[in-house]
């Protein structure tokens, strides 16, 4: 029963994240990635701070062990503040059908880091899976050839930049998982998120204040945009994070990672149907190889 809870939570998280990517892709022209992520985290913080009293766990905010709190805040820096922002930059450059599978390689990085720092065993499945993941990344990383009748395509330099952002986001999420796995030994999922989201909001607010781009502040007063970001914050950053930590607790780090990595299976078809993005056979092959490789690794 416990494993089913973990599996359902992980798959539900993957579906929510895929839908969120599709929803936010339509807003990338209105707001830069940093401000977009900041506003989402503000709504997610409000969501968890309102949820916390309902479960009678307000006192847990003040009794968290210092080491667990430090690791939790460090995981926020790598995941929500840096990783998510890099991912949205990649999504703006590449589109959901490419950025989502590329960034979903984070279970591979997670196991490699766990092998190095947590002394988890390196198996043949890890080696074969690593080869398949790299093989899957290759067709996703090649800029498409321009056709005479096609519109102007993304320059190769910007394409490579988008790929780099997606892979760096994947690495940041992996570091966050390693830190989060340790911190959850002393924290429940709701309290952990009630601490993570306000911390992420503060970090993103600091980064936004240091940013040279001042014009995004002048363009955020859009009711429709705020409604979409509020929904994104509550569903993806809120419920999605809650489901992921639930999967991490009940299914374990490996299974939680593989379940959440199934987002491309939802995201690529959705991007084809809703955003009208091109879904070519190389992209399909890349998605299948990446997901298969991650499954073998885990």
Q: Does residue 287 lie in a domain region?
A: yes
Q: Does residue 149 lie in a domain region?
A: no
The pLDDT, as a whole number, for residue 54 is 81
- Is the pLDDT assigned to residue 29 strictly greater than 70? no
Q: Does residue 148 lie in a domain region?
A: no
- State pTM to two decimals: 0.74
Question: Which residues contact residue 3 at a Cβ distance below 8 angstroms, ignoring those fewer than 6 apart?
Answer: 250, 251, 255
Q: Does residue 81 lie in a domain region?
A: yes
CA 35, 39, 43 angle in degrees (round to 5)? 170
Q: Is 36 within 8 Å of 27 (Cβ atoms)?
A: yes
Could you read off the pLDDT of 122-142 as tens digits, one per residue? 777 777 877 787 677 667 655
- Is the pLDDT assigned to residue 218 strictly greater than 50? no
Q: Does residue 53 lie in a domain region?
A: yes
Q: Is 198 within 8 Å of 238 (Cβ atoms)?
A: no
Higher per-residue confidence, 202 vs 293: 202
- Domain that includes residue 80, residue range: 2-143+155-297
Q: Where residue 152 falls among pLDDT bands split at 50, 70, 90? A: very low
Query: How many domains, in total, are found in the chain?
Result: 1
Q: Does residue 200 lie in a domain region?
A: yes
Query: 127-156: buried (b, 16+ CB within 10 Å) or exposed (e) per residue?
Result: eebbebbeebbebbbebeeeeeeeeeeeee
- Is the pLDDT assigned to residue 221 strictly greater than 70? no
């Amino acid at each position: 029963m416990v494993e089913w809870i973990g599996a359902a939570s992980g798959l539900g998280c993957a579906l929510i994240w895929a839908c969120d990517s599709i929803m936010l892709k339509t807003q990338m022209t209105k707001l830069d990635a940093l401000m977009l992520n900041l506003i989402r985290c503000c709504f997610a913080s409000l969501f968890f701070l309102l949820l916390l009293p309902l479960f009678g766990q307000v006192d847990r905010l003040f009794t968290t062990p210092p080491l667990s709190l430090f690791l939790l805040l460090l995981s926020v820096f790598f995941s929500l503040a840096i990783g998510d922002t890099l991912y949205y930059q990649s999504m703006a450059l590449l589109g959901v059908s490419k950025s989502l599978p590329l960034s979903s390689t984070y279970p591979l990085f997670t196991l490699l880091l766990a092998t190095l720092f947590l002394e988890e065993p390196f198996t043949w499945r890890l080696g074969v899976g690593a080869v398949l993941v790299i093989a899957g990344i290759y067709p996703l990383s090649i800029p498409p050839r321009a056709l005479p009748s096609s519109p102007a395509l993304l320059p190769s330099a910007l394409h490579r930049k988008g790929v780099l952002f997606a892979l760096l986001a994947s690495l940041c999420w992996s570091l966050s998982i390693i830190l989060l796995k340790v911190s959850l030994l002393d924290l429940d999922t709701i309290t952990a998120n009630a601490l993570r989201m306000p911390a992420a909001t503060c970090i993103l607010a600091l980064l936004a204040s240091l940013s040279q781009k001042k014009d995004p502040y002048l363009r955020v007063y859009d009711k429709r945009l705020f409604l979409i970001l509020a929904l994104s914050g509550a569903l993806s950053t809120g419920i999605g994070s809650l489901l992921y930590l639930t999967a991490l607790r009940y299914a374990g780090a490996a299974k939680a990672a593989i379940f959440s990595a199934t987002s491309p299976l939802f995201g690529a078809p959705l991007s084809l149907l809703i955003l009208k993005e091109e879904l070519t056979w190389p992209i399909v092959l890349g998605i299948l190889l990446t997901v298969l490789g991650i499954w073998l690794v885990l």
